[in-house]
Amino acid sequence: MYIVTGYGANSSSFLRNNRIKSAKIELGSGKSFTANFLDQPEAQEVRINEATKSVRVTILSVYPGNKDNDSCISEISFSR
């Protein structure tokens, strides 16, 4: 799974809003783990080592935005 952990329109938008620092990843099987993220606008990989039909992402902590107090995820994508 790949995730862009903030508002990725441009660098000023990315810094203006909160960005995900850590998140709980829950799989359809009931397994869960914590993923930690760098404060960067590029997509970051989260390895899921089993087939699953669903994924739930719960934000645990954020890097604070310099203007707006909202948390953004620009993209979540999956590859085989």
Distance (Å) of CA 1 to CA 24, 43, 50, 64, 75: 13, 10, 11, 24, 10
Rounded to whole angstroms, how far apart are CA atoms 19 and 6? 4
The model carries a pTM of 0.89
Rounded to whole angstroms, how far apart are CA atoms 8 and 63? 14
The per-residue pLDDT for 61 is 98
The per-residue pLDDT for 24 is 98
Structure tokens at 62: 């954020």
Sequential pLDDT tens for the chain (80 residues): 999 999 988 899 999 999 999 999 999 999 999 999 999 999 999 999 999 999 999 999 999 999 989 998 999 999 87
